[in-house]
Amino acid sequence: GAGVSQSPSNKVTEKGKDVELRCDPISGHTALYWYRQRLGQGLEFLIYFQGNSAPDKSGLPSDRFSAERTGESVSTLTIQRTQQEDSAVYLCASSGTLARDTERPNYGYTFGSGTRLTVV
């Protein structure tokens, strides 16, 4: 697609329920990232997918959080047994391949508009 698409745009869920957030990256982008942004704060890294490599899960805050990606397309972020502190905007981004450390892409990431999650 023309941009990074996230759904739903808003989600209100009850504490203890599971939620699934979806990200559809830009076609051809091999890298996909999930970030969390709490109200008035900066972006907190969650997980990163690069092609067929094992994902970098180092930012996931607990084992209630998991993410999957099918090939180089759609990704889903799942939060099990949601808690009130999970309330935030969840942002997805994608970028093209960085084949070597010396590559210098000028665009950084392209972000979606995010999913605003509210746990009540």
Partner 1 sequence: EDQVTQSPEALRLQEGESSSLNCSYTVSGLRGLFWYRQDPGKGPEFLFTLYSAGEEKEKERLKATLTKKESFLHITAPKPEDSATYLCAVRGNNAGNMLTFGGGTRLMVKP
The footprint of partner 1 (CB under 8 A) covers 4, 31, 33, 35, 41-45, 48, 50, 56, 91, 93, 95, 98, 101, 104-114
Nearer to partner 1, 11 or 80 (CB): 11
> Given the complex with partner 1, which of 28 and 42 has the nearer CB atom?
42
- Side chain identity at residue 71, one-letter code: G
Q: Quick check: 49 and 55 in contact, CB under 8 A?
A: yes
Q: How far is the CB of 79 from partner 1 (least distance, A)?
A: 19
Q: How far is the CB of 84 from partner 1 (least distance, A)?
A: 21
Output the DSSP codes for 28-49.
T--EEEEEEE-TT--EEEEEEE
Can you tell me the distance from the alpha carbon of 7 to that of 19, in angstroms, rounded to the nearest whole number?
12
Minimum separation from the CB atom of position 88 to partner 1 (A):
13
CB nearer to partner 1: give 39 or 120: 39
The two beta strands, 10-13 and 115-119, are parallel
Q: How far is the CB of 41 from partner 1 (least distance, A)?
A: 6
CA distance readout (Å), 89 to 40, 64, 109, 112, 119: 11, 17, 17, 11, 12
Give the nearer residue to partner 1 in terms of CB position, either 19 or 47.
47
